[in-house]
Structure formats: C-alpha cells, structure tokens
Chain A
Amino acid sequence: MPYRAGERRRKLAAAVLGRDPGPAPRSREETEPFDVVSGDLLDVSPHLIILETADGEQRRLVIAPWATAWRGGTVAPADLPAGARVVVRALRGGTVAERIWADITRITGVIQEVSGRRDLTVELDCGPHRRERSIVVPYRSSGRIRVRHPKLEPGYLFDAIGLLDQGTSFAHLPATSQPPYRATAVPPPTVTYGGSEAGISGTAVWADLTDLRDLTDLAEEGITEGVAYPMLEREDTGCGDAGVSCAGLPYLALGSLLRVRNVCDGRADALPIVACGCLAGRFCDRCLECGTSPRGRIVELAACSYVALGGDLTKGCFNARVGLG
C-alpha cells in the first residue's frame, strides 16, 4: 500500500504545488547507475548464469572473465549452488555479469538475547517491520564480529553482513563498528539554526527491504528498489520508532522521491521512500569508503538499488549525498 500510494502522493503533491512530478534530470557530474539483475539461480556454468527473476522471467547473462562471486567468501561463479538468491551487477544492458552476490543478507537490529558458547545465537529486534530475527554467529567469524561489536549485550545495536543458508542467517562480516550507546539513547543531531543546505551528506547503507512483512501488497514480489528513510512523521506512517536520526534530516513521507548520489563514483538515481528506516536512524556511525562521511545514516537502500549505485554488498555502506527529487 505505501509504495503504490507513493506514486499517487507524488502526483497529488505536484498538482497542488504546481511542480513537475517526475524526477529532476541528471546533472553533468552524475553518471548512470549500473544494471542490476536479481532472482533465484537456476543454473550456472563458468561462462553463463541463468536466473529467474521475481516476476517469473528467465534471464541469461554471460559471465565476464574478471567476474567474482561472493557466498560467505569469494568463490568462483561456477561454484554457486542452484536455488541461491543472487544479486548480479551487470554491464551492457544487463547481459554481462560482473559481480555476483549469492544468499547475502544484512543483519541489523537491537540485541535482545545472546546464547551459546561456541556458536552464538543472537535474538535481534529488527524494528517494527522486520520484527524479531534469530541469527547465528559461527565460531569462526565470532572473533571479527566481537572486535567490532564489543558489547554483545541486550539493548545494544548489531549490524553484520551474513549468509542466508537453508533459512538460517549466519553473520560473517561486521558491517560497522558497534555504537557505544544503547539503541534507546541515540545522540541528538547537532542543531543547525538558520539556513539549510542544498543536500545532506552521510552514510548510505543497504538492507533487506525484501522481507518487510507489513507491506502486504508487496509480500509476493518484495521491494527490490527504493529506500528506507528514518525521518518520517510517526502519525502518518504508523511507525512508532520513526523520527529518530542523529544526522539532522528533514521530514519526508513514504512516497517522496529522493535523489541519492554515491559520492565515490558519482552514480546517482532518484528512488522512492518505501519504508521507515527505524534502525538506520539509530546508528551514528561514519562510512569510511573513499573518505570519511559525516556522522549518521541517512538512507537504507534496497540491495538492488545499492548495487546499482556502485555499492559493494560486502562492504555495507558508501558515502552518499541525498537531495529531494
């Protein structure tokens, strides 16, 4: 519902304010996003990969000689198992696969309970949409997870990149350094009195927006494009955790069109806000990809949108600049 309503909202807002409903044209320093193909892997050989996309279409892509694949670690593309959920960054109109990520998942949430001695089982509260989730930190990656998450205790935030294997999420890489505060004690943004800037810089992260459970209209297809944004009015969205951010963001609504630009390589795209980024607003971290970003997460991108803008799913964030429309 919010996604479909989004387009209608844009039209109505444009009508009443007398502005153009479409996104603004790309400026000269901005470049086209990558083509991204995602779906279930049907078959793979060293040179060809066949996928079935969410709408049932079969896509055949040639695997570039320099292509790499990730499934819990770097693997050869031909070793990917059939049935894996893959995201492919493609060239030449979506016909040549360049990077492949299989069964990758983003585990972001507030720690509820930690149990286990060797392999740790962590219960996470992933916000009002993704609700609770139980994940496993395998012993072999618990060292590097714990180095970046020194407080594996209830109430603190957790953010890792993992592998979805037979319905279980295994955390493999820490996606950020854990914030030292509890999830309920987000530092307030530094107040800027007076003039506002033309755009907001900060960290763009990715999230599994495909498993949002309360967006019933989209349950079958999942959200493959779009962003989750933290600064939404609670009354409009029914999202009691929205409206918290440490980056000093302006209020927007579900359906607003955001222009997200990857500061590192200039790729930009206009993406609709499709969900509330209840958890993104609670992280006050910086992204260290090609320079240090200002503090605070400004958007959570769907995995496909993130890859299209040049992000690497195993790296968890890129420096972004965001403006409206």
Chain B
Amino acid sequence: MLSIIAAAALPILVVTLALGGVAKLATVGREASPGALARLGPAVLMPERFARPATIACALVEFALAADLLVVGHPVARWLPVAFFAMATYVLWDLRRRRPDAGCGCFGDVSDTPVGLRSIGRAAALTAMAALVAAAGVMGLPHVTAETAPWIGGGVALLLACSPEIDGVVSRLRHRAPCEQRPMPPGRALSRLRTSGEWRAHAGSLLADEPSDMWRELCWRFFVFPAQGDAEVVFAVHLGGRRPAVRAVVVGADGQVAAPDDRGDAYLRESTPVSA
C-alpha cells in the first residue's frame, strides 16, 4: 500500500520541483520591476544583493533534487528532498513570522501572496510525500497505473487546494487589468500595425520603414512615419482586444489633416472618452 502511494507521490514531487525551478528562473530572467525578487520567498531574509543569486541557487537545487529522485538510488540521496522540503516548511514558517507581507516565491512571482497556512501546509505535505518516497525506496521514471492514478489525482488535488496561487490565476482569468495599465512592448503594436489594412493603404507613400516618432497614451499607441510631399502619416493602434482597431491619418506640414480616414469612426466615438 505504502509503495503504491510512494509511486504516486514520486511524479508529483518531480513535476513540482521542476515547475518551481523553471518559474524561479523565469522570474529572475524577467525581473518585471526592479527589486521584485527582494520581496519573494527566502530571498527577503538575505541582503538584497544576494536575492538574485539565492533565487538562482534555489532553482538549481530544485532541478538537482528532481534529477536525484529520478536517477540516484543511494539511500542518503533519497533523503535529500525530505531535508529540502522540511527546511522549506521551517523557512516559510519563519518567513510568515518575520515578514508577513512577503510572498513565498515557491513558483517565482506567481507566488506573491503573503505566506499563509496554505503555503506552509503545502510544504509540509510535500515533506510527507518525499519521506514516503524515501522510505519506500521508489525511484526511476514513474509509471502511471490503475492503482497509482487515484493517488496521483488525490495528491495533485491536495497540493492545488493548498496553493494560494490558484486564487490569483482564477481572478486573472476572470478579470484582466485594464489595458491602459498593461505594459505592451512597442514591437508588438508595430507588428499589429503592419498586418492591418490601414498600413497596406498607406505603405506606398511612406518614406521610411521605421517610425520617426512613437508614443503611447492609455490604450493607444501612435506611430508617425514621414511620407511623400513633406507630410506625415500618423497611425493609432489600439492595444486591447484580439482584433485591435487601427486608425490612420495623413497630416500635412502645416498640421492640417490632408486625408482623413473615416473608417471606424463610429467605433472611435464610443472609445475616445478616456478613462485616466
């Protein structure tokens, strides 16, 4: 019986460790806002300049443990994940006491909700699973059989129930941040523009391939291209939605609109009142 549960726990542990490592490395690589790392997980307990190396080290340790669970059969190596998760449980407990505002960082910046009993419970559950795996001496590639499948399902359900990240993911799926607050690289808007009909309509008259000026205001990104006859073509690309609206207008050197583009006017009248 115990060996069946251990065989079910092994893939869960391996996947969790690998996911945690990947998410941490992705967070380090992206570093969305400066200092974001210093607010996550055990990194908050150490000086800020070590936050990045510590997160990378933690991710590497997780990869090593996942590999260890799969290939190494030595009894000492089997107990290393148990030690890791037990220590993680203690660190989370300590983090909750010392920095109640910090997230656990278990899955990088996805885990930014303050550490609660659920995160600690999850670490404890993983410790128990690792202990089972170590005690039963299971190793190698996991085999999903009719016996282990319900246990795997139960284990995953237990971990999901203990994951505060799920709440954030659900609310993100249900509501999105308003588009004026979402960062959007100019390159994406430019590629959207280049696939639009307005671009094709004006491409012949443009003198340059790259915009002479571009800026973003709320949900609109504007591109200005020099055009023939000392004029400028201004494109406005809406940043929200799957099929964004694109507007174009030719402005003469005197600042007067030379050729207004009246397509999509009705749409614009609805969307022009800005919300900032």
Q: Is the CB of B249 within 8 A of A188?
A: no
A250 in complex: contacting residue of B39, B181, B247, CB < 8 Å: B181
Which among B36, B183, B234 is the interface contact of A12 at CB below 8 angstroms?
B234
Per-residue B-contact encoding for A123-165, CB less than 8 Å = 1, 0 else:
0000000000000000000000000000000010000000000
Contact partner, A253, options B112, B217, B251, B268, Cβ 8 Å: B217
Docked-complex contact B218 and A255, CB < 8 angstroms: no
Chain A residues with Cβ under 8 A from B48's Cβ?
155, 182, 184-185
14 extra A-B contacts, CB within 8 A, seeds A196-B180, A197-B275, A249-B181: A9-B222, A181-B35, A182-B38, A184-B34, A184-B38, A185-B34, A192-B177, A193-B174, A233-B186, A236-B214, A249-B276, A250-B276, A322-B276, A323-B276
Q: Please, how many angstroms separate the alpha-carbon atoms of A181 and B33 in the complex?
A: 14
A33 within 8 Å of B (CB atoms): no
- B241 within 8 Å of A by Cβ? no
Distance in angstroms from B11 CB to nearest chain A CB is 34
Given contacts A185-B39, A193-B171, A236-B214, contact A17 B180 (CB under 8 A): no
Contact between chains at B218 and A252 (CB < 8 Å): yes
Asked if B1 is at the interface of the complex by the 8 Å CB criterion, the answer is no
- Contact (Cβ within 8 A) A243 B181: no
Query: Contacts A15-B257, A155-B48, A185-B39 given: A324-B218 contact, CB under 8 Å?
Result: yes
* Total contacting residues, chain A, CB less than 8 A: 48
Once the chains bind, are B33 and A254 in contact (CB under 8 Å)?
no
Is B224 an interface position by the 8 A CB rule? yes
How far apart are the CA atoms of A18 and B248 in the complex, in Å? 11
Cα–Cα, bound, A11→B257 (Å): 10
Check: A290 CB closer than 8 A to any chain B CB: no
Chain A residues contacting B29 (CB-CB under 8 Å) are: none
- Interface centre among A192, A195, A251, by most chain B C-beta atoms within 10 angstroms, is A251
Q: Does B204 contact A (CB under 8 A)?
A: no
B222 touches A12 (CB 8 A): yes
Main secondary structure on chain B at its contact with chain A? Answer: mixed
- For B33, B35, B251, B276, the residue with the greatest tally of chain A CB atoms inside 10 Å of its CB is B276
A13/B35 contact (C-beta < 8 A), A233-B186, A250-B178 known: no
On chain B, the residues within 8 Å of A323 by CB distance are: 276
Find out whether the CB atom of A325 lies under 8 angstroms from the CB atom of B274: yes
| Interface range on chain B (Cβ under 8 Å from partner) | 35 or more
Look across to chain A and name the residue whose beta carbon is closest to the beta carbon of B39: A185
Is B229's CB within 8 Å of the partner chain A? no
Does B243 lie at the interface of the complex (its beta carbon under 8 Å from any beta carbon of A)?
no
Nearest 10 A-B pairs (CB), nearest first? Answer: A193-B175, A253-B215, A250-B180, A184-B35, A185-B35, A324-B276, A196-B178, A16-B234, A16-B249, A16-B236
Query: Given A12-B234, A15-B234, A256–B249 Cβ distance below 8 Å?
Result: no
Q: Which residues of B contact A15 (CB under 8 A)?
A: 234, 249, 251, 257
The answer to whether B215 touches A255, judged by C-beta atoms less than 8 angstroms apart, is: yes
**Per-residue A-contact encoding for B223-236, CB less than 8 Å = 1, 0 else:** 01000000010111
A298 CB, nearest partner CB in chain B, Å: 10
Complex Cα–Cα for A250 and B178 (A): 9
| Contact of B192 with A by CB under 8 A | no
* Residue among A16, A236, A254 with most chain B CB within 10 A: A16
State the Cβ distance, A55 to closest chain B Cβ, in Å: 25
Complex: how many Å from CA A155 to CA B49? Answer: 11
Query: Given that A16-B234, A17-B268, A324-B274 are contacting pairs, would A236 and B38 also be in contact in the complex, using a CB cutoff of 8 Å?
Result: no
B249 engages A251 (CB within 8 Å) = no
Give the residues in chain A near B35, CB-CB below 8 Å: 181-186
Residues from chain A with Cβ under 8 Å of B222 in the complex: 9, 12-13, 16
Known contacts A12-B232, A12-B234: A251-B183 contact under CB 8 Å: yes
Contact residues in A for B224 (Cβ distance below 8 Å)? 12
- Does residue B220 face the partner (Cβ distance < 8 Å to A)? yes
A5 at the interface (CB under 8 A from B): yes
**Complex formed: what's the CA distance from A176 to B78 in Å?**
55
| Chain B residues in 8 Å Cβ range of A215 | none
Q: Which listed residue (A197, A236, A322) contacts B215, Cβ 8 A? A: A236
Known: A19-B272, A182-B48. A251 touches B181 (CB 8 A): yes
A194 is contacted by which of B34, B112, B175 (Cβ under 8 Å)?
B175
A200 touches B276 (CB 8 A): yes
**Residue of A at shortest CB range from B168?**
A191
Q: Find chain A residues with CB under 8 A from B236 CB.
A: 13, 16-17
Q: Inside 8 A of A324's CB, which chain B residues have their CB? A: 217-218, 274, 276
Residues of A with C-beta under 8 A to B272: 17-19
Are B216 and A253 interface neighbours, CB within 8 A?
A: yes
Q: Assess whether A185 is in contact with B217, with CB atoms less than 8 Å apart.
A: no
A19 → chain B, closest Cβ, in Å? 5
